[in-house]
Structure 1
């Protein structure tokens, strides 16, 4: 049969935006073209990829009856048949898979995941750390004095680009840094200014016109710097050089200037390196926060191994664990669809409130998800809350195989939550 839907699209570039145009081939919609911008693609189309229209996993679908769906695309609402809806999903899956792949590739290559994304005025970038106004002034002064047009020493690396400091040899830029200054409030609280990493549009244009087959080939110390390397270079080389240079010419205290730096670091252990079970909790909290605001159903394939691995991990928990009422309340709420308080008030046999009973409930959830194509996000939220509580409050005996299995299934689920919290939900 002739396909009912076609999508023409432009993929995003680093820090840039893409778009797409959807065209329908049926007689009713012939000639109709719907344009979606970057925010529409991320906010409307990106969730529920590779799921069936009738599973309730895609936020732009509403099933009207067995054979018809109401579809919301940008500002346009359509009624599609099940065949048209299926074709639309297949097209969207192909486009969004490439779209998502590129965005993740940008973040991985530029090493930006650990930094907060900010966008204001004409600038976009990531917060590396913050400094006091006095130190930023010296950083700008040093950059002006050591402009690459004024000398050839190893420190003649800079050029002012509007409010940014451009780190360059004059041939190819390494990085751009700029202060986050609001016109209405020039300084952040406590006289602090955020230092932002920016891959400037000027730099991107040079990369596009260059001899490299892809922009990634220019990433490195001799080319375009990543966010992580830029931060390291600023803190370990540039700022110490600036402080040392000016402290010799004035009464500025080196110790006082260094104390003005507020460094944003993560104290998490990398998932692959976790050997203390409690180090899993911060990642599970990220997943739980994502599930808590997730309004659609979730594909069961994302959760089956997760439910099983973490049930196995916490299976041998000491029966003296506190909060057994909280654990059972969460799990029975999934079965009874009541609030935790209503469930606990209706339980007459309190002797059943044991950890063995809780594990039996978890095993039922594992069996249930194995027979489901999709899962209610509230159920996944409650089960994740249960895992977090047990890991943080229980004395758990577990094998290395159980821990490794839990880490293995955690990574893709956490990366999914990280991507959507970063790129999908801000566009809704």
Structure 2
């Protein structure tokens, strides 16, 4: 369509005005939205470009816990020439939640609906006003980019077995805390690495090379892992002479991650190639440290017991979800989900919660009616249903002492029916329902079938994995 010259002049003039004027003239908005992009998706290595009719996003995807970024453009004449740059923290903190949801569901942090056809969009330090169609296309672009962004981060964590370790970043160092040792043991670890540098011999223990203060475990050709020390004086639980041992994500160690060779780095992971965080920790504790203590026995004032006594392990074992057969082993995972829901600021897509509500309601359905804390259960479930003022709710709640566990199950069944007819859920309600499930499992005598337990584990896994990802990568960037 050819835009008349008079309209072009008017558009040039109106560009200096606030978008509030545009919202009051939807007919003018129609004119401004005629020069659409040609939709496409292009992927080359770690470069992803997603184009919809109204919006285009060009993204540099993250490499091995590195930082990506993106640039957003709009086809509207009013926004022509505007390029919004988002860094890694912006992408994770602003765009990552609420993927695959509609703009008006209030599940996305960067969107605020102003009226039926208008949205306020906050991207980095820039705020723009978009029409409904523009907001939909923006969401579609964000879904494509952020889903791949998230997939890559999860892929790196899975392959390098890092989920059970705390991620740490300081100066130019990125890595994971494996455990801590007293300073004297770390000094022996460094001394041994110096003596058994791979340039000084060919024995099975000539594996090391010093890189500044870090230890490089290598055969000179193939790097296995990098170990970095960090003295953490901020943690009161650590004495001043305790050293955190960091599994360092060194660029040299991950050099096979190149454009166009995305899958090559995974092929190199293993005992003869790049070591995972889990294997590195195992090797240090079971082979390297015992070797050092034996090698320097009689040469240090500290006994073996004194050196080993100060090793602090930060990871706690929990039964993998798929292997759980004791119902109470579900509770640590439910607590993780509850903590996530408690700080979740937006609505959450109902598709993630529907199987969860159903499976756990079925799991706890046959609980002994003598369960303690029935008042706590009823209060939580009533709060989910409350819509009136606090005073009205209190008056309606005076009869709670006469209510039974059967009433609680009836309430849970109502929530299952409600969410099955919903597109999204208030995170506060999901938090309360999760607290209820936790209480019943911890305090009740429950009769359940294997099928009910299996359904509960299956429903828990995707919800917990989403909470784990966001608590680790999204919320630290908000």
CA distance in 1, matches of 2:170, 2:72: 30
Q: 1:84-133 CA deviation, whole Å, 9 max, x = no partner? A: 00000000000001000000000000000000111111111101011011
Q: 1:40-94 CA deviation, whole Å, 9 max, x = no partner? A: 0000000000000000000000000000000000000000000000000000000
User: Does 2:54 match 1:4?
Assistant: yes
Distance 1:386 1:211, change over 3 A: closer
Within a 5 Å distance, the mapping from 1:265-344 to structure 2 comes to 265-337=315-387, 343=393
Pick from 170, 178, 185 the counterpart of residue 228 of structure 2: 178
The residue aligned with 1:80 is 130
Rg larger in 1 or in 2? 2
Contact 1:53 1:89 in 2 (8 A): yes
TM-score where L is the length of structure 2: 0.86
- 2:79 counterpart SS class: coil
Pick from 197, 203, 208 the counterpart of residue 147 of structure 1: 197
CA distance in 2, matches of 1:338, 1:359: 23
Q: Shift in Å at residue 182 of structure 1?
A: 5.4
User: Does 2:142 match 1:103?
Assistant: no
Q: 1:391-420 CA deviation, whole Å, 9 max, x = no partner? A: 000000000100000000000000000000
Q: Shift in Å at residue 181 of structure 1?
A: 2.5
The residue aligned with 2:16 is none
Contact 1:329 1:340 in 2 (8 A): no
CA distance in 2, matches of 1:396, 1:59: 39
Distance 1:407 1:69, change over 3 A: same
CA distance in 1, matches of 2:274, 2:311: 25
Distance 1:13 1:306, change over 3 A: same
Q: Shift in Å at residue 252 of structure 1?
A: 3.5
The residue aligned with 2:163 is 113
Where do 5+ consecutive residues of structure 1 fail to align? Answer: none
The residue aligned with 2:182 is 132
User: Does 2:283 match 1:228?
Assistant: no
TM-score where L is the length of structure 1: 0.96
Aligned residues: 427
Distance 1:190 1:423, change over 3 A: same
CA distance in 1, matches of 2:116, 2:468: 34
Q: 1:337-377 CA deviation, whole Å, 9 max, x = no partner? A: 47999856642334542000000000010010001000000
The residue aligned with 1:246 is 296
Runs of 4+ aligned structure 1 residues displaced above 6 Å come to 209-212, 338-342
Distance 1:59 1:169, change over 3 A: same
Contact 2:193 2:208 in 1 (8 A): yes
CA distance in 2, matches of 1:82, 1:347: 42
The residue aligned with 1:363 is 413
Distance 1:274 1:341, change over 3 A: farther
CA distance in 1, matches of 2:299, 2:433: 61
Q: Shift in Å at residue 259 of structure 1?
A: 1.3
Distance 1:182 1:311, change over 3 A: closer
The residue aligned with 1:214 is 264
CA distance in 2, matches of 1:213, 1:76: 36
Deviates more, 1:151-160 or 1:261-270: 261-270
Distance 1:367 1:140, change over 3 A: same
